[in-house]
Amino acid sequence: MKIEHKTIAEFFAGIGLMRMGLDRNGWHTVWANDIDPDKIEMYRHHFRDNPDPLVQGDVHLLDSKLIPTVTLATASFPCTDLSLAGARRGLAGAGSGAFWGFVDALKSMGARRPPLVLLENVTGFLTSHNGEDLRNACLALNDLGYAVDAFIIDAVHFVPQSRQRLFVVGTTQIGSARVSERPPSFFEGNGRPAALSDFIMMHPDISWKIRELPPLPKRKKQLSDLLESYSANSAIWWSSERAEYLLNQMSPRHREIADEMINGKETSYGTVFRRVRQGRSMAELRVDGIAGCLRTPRGGSGRQILFAAGNGRFGVRLLTARECSRLMGAGEFRMSEKLTLNKALFGFGDAVCVSVVEWIAKNYFDPLLSDFEGAENPKTVAYGKPA
C-alpha cells in the first residue's frame, strides 16, 4: 500500500500540541476540530501563518463528507470521565464519551478511513470500569478494520514534568493477523508496564498488533533550566503573608525540606500543589527537579506553585504560561498578549507533550509507514483474534 502524504485529521485539537509534535517530523495537518472557543483562539494564534484547518463544533455533529482523506487521524479526547479527579463515568460520560463521536466520524468516512489512528489519554483509561472502557474502545477500532497497539509514555523522559499518558495506535490490517501462542518478550518493559501488559494478555478477543519500542531517551534538563527569571521585587511573587501561609500548610516532613532549602547556600527550586488531606488543605512540596503533572486549574487546586529558596529567604509564585509551554515541550508556542494565565493553564493542562508526540512520529509511525510500502516488520507481532 502506497502512502503518498503524511497528512493528519486532528480531532479534539485543543491548542494544537499534537500537531506541533507531528509537524516536527514532517507531517501536515489538513483538517482539525475542537469545540472549546478559548483553545481554538490559542490554536489559531500560534498557527496564524499557516492555512487554518480548524473547524469549530461538536464532534457528534461533524459532516464526514467534509473531512478530507488523510494518512492519520488523531484523537486526544476529553479525559474528564477517565481521570482520578473526575467522577469515573468512563466512556459513558458526557466528556470522555465524545470518543464515540470520533468513532462515528471514522465509520461515516467508509473506504476513505485513514490507515492510521492515534488515541491519547490519561492512564486512567486503562483501569476505567475495570478495563472495560479501554476494551470497548479497542474493539470499536477493530470493528472499523484496525488492529491495535498500546503503550504508556511518561513525558519525564523528555521534559522535567511527570506526565504519563496512554497511547493507542490503530493500524489497518495487512493480511490476516497471526495469533501468538506465547507473549512476546518485549510485552512488559519499555512503554508497557505490567498493568498494560496484563491487559493485553488478558484480552485475546481484541485484535492486537504489537510493535517493539526502542528505548526511551534520558531527559537532559531539570525544572530550573526552564524557569523564567524575575527580580526579587517583581509583582509576580506572592506577598510575604501569602507565602508564609503556604509554608505553614506543609506537613512536618515537607516543612523540614523547605527549611533546608531556605537555609541552603544556593537557590533551589521545588513545586507545590495544594491537596485536601483528611479534610484539610495541605501544600505538598516536590524537590526532585521535576514538576508535577500540569492540570487544568478548576477550583484553583490545579495551579502549580513554584517554591524558590536559599540564603535565608524564600519566594512563592505560580508557574507562568511560558514555563508551562516549556514543560510541554512547546517553548516556541506563540501566545497573545491578551491571553490570561487561566486560559493558558487550561490549554496546556489539557494537552499532550509535544516532545512525546515527536518521538512517536519518528520511532513508531515512520517505521510503520515503511511497512505499508512493503513487507511486514519482523518486530511486529500480532496477538489476539484474527481480523
- The mean pLDDT value for 100-113 works out to 95
CB atoms closer than 10 angstroms to residue 200? 22
Beta strands in the chain (DSSP E): 7-11, 28-34, 54-56, 72-75, 116-122, 146-154, 164-172, 207-211, 268-277, 280-286, 305-310, 313-318, 380-384
* Closest of 135, 147, 73 to residue 103, by C-alpha: 73
Question: Which of 16-25, 52-61, 371-380 bottoms out in mean pLDDT, i.e. has the lowest?
Answer: 371-380
Which amino acid type is present at position 291? Answer: A
pLDDT tens by residue, 133-175: 999 999 999 999 999 999 999 999 999 999 999 999 999 964 3
**The pLDDT of residue 381 is above 70:** no
Instruction: Inform me whether the pLDDT recorded for 263 exceeds 60.
Output: yes
| b/e per residue 135-166 (b: at least 16 CB within 10 A) | bbbbbbbbeebbbbbbbbbbbbebbbbbbebb
Which tops the pLDDT comparison, 131 or 27?
27
The pLDDT-based confidence of 298 (bands split at 50, 70, 90) is: low
Backbone torsions φ then ψ of 371, nearest 5 degrees: -65, -35
- Residue 382: what pLDDT? 55
Q: Is the pLDDT of residue 387 over 50?
A: no
Angle, helices 99-109/132-143, rounded to nearest 10 degrees = 10
Specify the amino acid at residue 180. S
Q: Is 122 helix (H, G, I), strand (E, B) or coil?
A: strand
Q: Residue 311 above 50 pLDDT? A: yes
The pLDDT assigned to 174 comes to: 47
- pLDDT, position 34: 97
Q: What is the mean pLDDT of residues 59-64?
A: 94
Assign 182 a pLDDT band (cuts: 50, 70, 90).
very low
In which band, very low, low, confident or very high, does the pLDDT at 181 lie, cut at 50, 70 and 90? very low
Look at residue 227 in the predicted model and tell me its pLDDT. 98
Distances (CA, A) of 300 to 303, 343, 345, 374: 6, 13, 11, 52
Residues contacting residue 186 through CB under 8 Å, at least 6 positions apart: 192, 210, 212, 213
Parallel, antiparallel, or unpaired: how do β-strands 380-384 and 305-310 relate?
Answer: unpaired
| Cell numbers representing residue 60 in the block | 457528534
pLDDT at residue 384, as a whole number: 59
As assigned by CATH, the class of the 7-219+351-384 domain is alpha beta
Average pLDDT for residues 244-255, to the nearest whole number? 96
Cα four-point dihedral sign 319, 324, 326, 329: positive
Model pLDDT, residue 180? 40
**pLDDT (0 to 100) of residue 300:** 54
DSSP one-letter code for 58: -
Within its chain, how far is the Cα of 322 from the centroid? 18
Residue 212 has pLDDT above 90, yes or no: no
Pick from 66-70, 87-91, 125-129, 368-372 the range whose average pLDDT is largest: 66-70
In this prediction, residue 380 has a pLDDT band, given cuts at 50, 70 and 90, of low
Percent of the chain with pLDDT over 90: 76
Q: Which residue has the higher pLDDT, 348 or 176?
A: 348
81 has pLDDT over 80:
no
Beta-carbon contacts of residue 57 (< 8 Å; ≥ 6 apart): 33, 35
Residues of the chain with CATH 3.40.50.150: 7-219+351-384
377 has a pLDDT exceeding 60: no
Average pLDDT rounded to a whole number, residues 21-41: 96
Cβ atoms of residues 158 and 354 within 8 Å: no
Separation between Cα atoms, residue 322 and residue 14, nearest integer Å: 17
Listed in sequence order, the residues at least 6 apart from 184 whose beta carbon sits closer than 8 Å to its beta carbon are 210, 212, 381, 383
Q: What is the pLDDT of residues 322-370, one digit of tens each?
A: 999 999 999 999 999 999 999 999 999 999 999 999 999 999 999 988 8
